[in-house]
Amino acid sequence: MIHSLIDHTLLMPTATEKQITTLCNEAIEHSFFSVCVNPTYIATCAALLKNSGVKVCTVIGFPLGANTTAVKVFETENAVENGADEIDMVINIGHALDGKWSEIEKEIAAIKTACQGRLLKVIFETCLLADEQIAKLCEISKQAGADFVKTSTGFSTGGATEEHIRLMRTCVGNEMGVKASGGVRTQVIAQTMIDAGASRIGTSAGVSIVNGTEAKSGY
């Protein structure tokens, strides 16, 4: 079922505590896999979702990926302390464009250590990269110990595409998860991504997707 693959997402800077509470209640009602929120709301979500079975996911280095590794590591450690179950980190996209693969791999590995056993997803921002760069990032993410590769932040020039999901699944095989995020706003698109190889869907339109209704604009 699609609902069990959804990371119910609210990452807008205008998000209020009331909206976060609604997000958590919706996640419980529809049995979504997790909620995905900015770090300031981790503890709130952990309390609201206690014993519900819904995980708390957060984002690191979001949305630009341009923080130093030390900052991202601290942010991850703090997220774990506050109750995060899953970490979605943004790579240094400039490093990818420059081919600084060793630096990116070291950063992913450092953040994986900081996760202290929590699941780590690596956000590429595929809309800014060539297929060869996406394939290389899949390779080094696997080598660095990440659990998932993820298409997008939802805050750049494009989101998930069927073609990129197929490419990422081919590159990581069955050993890692693939998360489609950015622009997945209908049941048809969500199912297309799953059929292409996505094992998780990041979207703010989770309720609309499971209900088969039209979603408003958003992540």
Total domains, the chain: 1
Can you give the C-alpha Rg of the chain in angstroms? 16
- Is 0.85 topped by the overall pTM? yes
For residue 177, what are its two tokens?
Answer: 């998860």
- pLDDT in the model for residue 214: 73
pLDDT, tens digit, 9 for 90 and up, residues 31-61:
999 999 999 999 999 999 999 999 999 999 9
Q: Is residue 218 part of a domain?
A: no
Q: Which of the residues are catalytic? A: 88, 150, 179
Tens-digit pLDDT profile for residues 90-109: 999 999 999 999 999 999 99
The reply to whether 70 falls in a domain is: yes
Q: Is 159 a domain residue? A: yes
CATH code, 117: 3.20.20.70
Report yes or no on 71 lying in a domain.
Answer: yes
Q: Which domain holds residue 144?
A: 2-211
In a domain, 219, yes or no: no
Query: Strand 119-123 and strand 148-150: pairing?
Result: parallel
Segments of the chain with pLDDT less than 70: 216-219
Establish if 145 belongs to a structural domain.
Answer: yes
Residue 166 lies in a domain: yes
